[in-house]
Amino acid sequence: MGGEGEKWCVVTGGRGFAARHLVEMLVRSGEWLVRIADLAQSLSLDPREEEGDVGRALRSGRAAYVSADLRNKAQVVAAFEGAEVVFHMAAPDSSINSYQLHYSVNVQGTKNVIDACIECKVKRLIYTSSPSVVFDGVNGIYYGGEAMPYPKKFNDSYSETKAEGEKLVMNANGRCGLLTCCIRPSSIFGPGDRLLVPSLVNAARAGKSKFIIGDGDNVYDFTYVENVAYGHICAERTLAAGGVGADRAAGQAYFITNMEPIKFWEFVSLILEGLGYERPRIKIPVSVMMPIAHLVELTYKTFSRYGMPVPQLTPSRIRLLSCNRTFSCAKAEDQLGYKPIVPLKDALKKTIDSYSDLRSEHHVVKSKPSSSLGSGKIASTLLWKDKKHTFTVLLCLVVFYYYSFGCGYTFFTAMAKLLSLAAMFLFIHSLLPAKMMGFKIEKMSPSVFHLSEGSSRRLAGSITYYWNSAAGIARSICKGKDWTLFFKVAGFLMALNFLGAMSLHTIYVLGVPLIFIAAFVYEKMVG
C-alpha cells in the first residue's frame, strides 16, 4: 500500500478526539504518510479539516483513510500493511457501562493489533493507555509514578480492560523486533472534545453547576490534547532513535500531563466563567452525597434489566470528583524528552475560544424554578422578583386566612364576607378623585374584569396543554421504560396522599409560608 522509501504510520481510532490532533501533528511534521483507521465505512471531514492540513494531505495522497474494526483481525492486517509505526488510540466510550464492549475492543482488539503488527513487520507500536489503570476508585493519587501497581479492584470495566490491554502491549515488546511503549495521558481536554466541556455547559444550563462535591480542594492533572499528541510523538522518536534511550523506553509506560496540577473545581470554574456561566460555589460534603449515590446505584442494579438508564450519580463518580489525581511526568521528561508544548493558561484560552457556540449569550438562560412557574406573575411573586407585589399577595393571604379560618367561619360564610369587603373597596375606590392630598390615585378600569377572547383562548390552550402533558406522562408510564418519570409520579402521588390526611387549616398555615420560602431558597441554590 506504500511505495518504496515512503514512511507510513497508522493511527487507530483516528477519528477520535485526541487521535485527530495526533493525525494533524503527524501530517504537519512532514515526516510521515498517515493512514487514518476507524470504524466508519467512509471518511467525513468537518469544514475546518477540509480546508486544513488533513484535507490537503488526503487530496495529495500524503494521508489516506481505511475502515477497520479492531475486532476483525483481517481488517486490522489490511490497515497495517506497509506501515512502520502504529499509534493504537482506538477505545470505546469509557462512560458506556458494558464490560463485553470494553473487553472486545480494549483486550481482544489490542491482541489483534499486536498480531497484525508482527505479521506486517511493524517496527514500533505506541499504545494510548489511561492513568485509571492504577486507580482503585477509592484512594486518591498524589504525584503518582509509574512504579504504582495495578489495583486489586478497578474503578470500572473500562479501567480494568485498559490495564489488560496495556499489559499485552508491554509484554509484546521485543517479539519479532517489535518495540512497544504505553502513554497514560491524564484528563484530556481541548478543542473538539465532545465530553468534558459540553457536559459542563449542559450542567450549567440545567442549573446543576453551582455545586462542589467535597471541600473543593482536591487537585487534578489535566492535559491539553496537543500535549497528548506530542507525548506520543516523543515516545515514537525515542524508540526510533535506537541505542540506550530506546532500550530504556521499550516496554515501558509513561504518565503524560500538562505538569501544572490545579484544583479540580478551579479548572471547572475557569472553563465555565470563560464561557459566561457562574462558577460552582455551593459545597456539598461527600458524606452527604455518598449515601444518595449508593441508593441510586442499588436502584439501578435492581431495575437495569427493565431498561433503567445508567445513572450519573454513582459512588465511583463521587469519589472521582472529590479525590486527588495527580501524576509525575519525571520519567517521561527524563527518558522521552517530553515537556508540554502548550502551557495550561494558553490551553484553557484555546479551549474556551473553540467553544464560542456554547457561550451563555447564545443561550437564553432562565432559572429552573422560574421556567417551571411559567416565568410570569406567579414566578415573580413566589420568587420575590417583584417585592411589592409579593407583599401585597401575602397580605391578601393573611386576610383570607383571618376570614376563612381565624374567625371560625364556614367556607361559604368566609367567601361571602370577603366578596362583600371587595365590593365595598371597589365602590369606595370608584368615588375617590383622581388626585387627593397631592397623591395620584390610579383608577381601576372595568376592562380589568373582562376576559378577552385572546385570554380565553390562552386559558383554554393552557388547560389543554396540561391535560395533554398528563396524558403524555400516563402513556410513558404505560410503556414501562421511563423509571425516572415513574419515581417522580409515585413521589407526587405519595405527597398528595400525605396532604389529604391533613386538615385544610393545617395545610394553609404550613403550606403558604413554605411555598414562598422554598421557592426563594430553591431559586438562590439552582436558579
Instruction: Tell me the per-residue pLDDT of 482-499, one tens digit each, with 9 for 90 and over.
Output: 777 778 788 888 877 877
First to last CA, the chain: 59
DSSP strand pairing (435-436 vs 439-440): antiparallel
The predicted pLDDT at position 372 comes to: 53
CA distance 462 to 36: 54
Exactly one of 162, 283, 350, 387 is catalytic; name it: 162
CB 162 within 8 A of CB 129: yes
pTM: 0.71
The predicted pLDDT at position 459 comes to: 75
- Where the chain has pLDDT below 70, the residues are 1-5, 304-310, 362-387, 403-411, 437-439, 443-444, 447-448, 481, 503-505, 516, 519-527
The predicted pLDDT at position 517 comes to: 73
The predicted pLDDT at position 405 comes to: 65
CB 224 within 8 A of CB 258: yes
pLDDT digits (tens, 9 = 90+) for 306-323: 666 667 788 888 888 999
Among this protein's residues, is 162 annotated catalytic? yes
Question: How many CB atoms are located within 10 Å of the residue 219 CB?
Answer: 17
The predicted pLDDT at position 419 comes to: 81
CA distance 2 to 275: 45
CB 89 within 8 A of CB 128: yes
